[in-house]
Amino acid sequence: MKNEMRNVEMIHGNYIKSRKSKKGWAIVIIPPHARIDNFHGYSHIHFTPTGKKHKIIEMDFDMLYEIIRTHLKKNKKLIKEELLEVLS
């Protein structure tokens, strides 16, 4: 495995930018702005860089990525409350 794997994908005008390394992984959804990562020892989602970190269920990165893709394909946009409910 390389030191880091990055991917950029656009679904219905929303970018999903992801990266995965030995340190952990992060997925950023733009717009609006949401970030899901496990860089502080647990998986969480936050909607501003310094905002509240909502804990989410621990799961495999690829499974989480597919949940986000499916959410954006179905809704054509990010619905924060709905995604949070699915991941909590």
Partner 1 sequence: MIEIKLTKIITGKDLAESFEEEYGSIENLENRLKKDSENMQLFSDLEDWKFFGKNPDDEIEDTTTIITDTLTLTNLELELLNFIKNEHPQSIRELARMIQEDVSNTQRRISRLVKEGLLELKKGSRNSKVPTLNYDKIEIAI
Residues that bind partner 1 (CB under 8 A): 2-11, 17, 19, 26, 28, 30, 33-35, 47-51
Instruction: Please enumerate, as own/partner, the contacts of 54-59 that have beta carbons within 8 Å and a separation of 24 or more.
Output: 54/84, 54/88, 55/88, 56/84, 56/87, 56/88, 57/87, 57/88
Tell me the closest approach of the beta carbon of residue 86 to partner 1, in angstroms.
19
Instruction: Using the minimum distance from each CB to partner 1, give the nearer residue, 30 or 67.
Output: 30
Nearer to partner 1, 9 or 82 (CB): 9
Shortest separation between residue 65's beta carbon and partner 1, angstroms: 11
Q: Which amino acid is at 62?
A: D
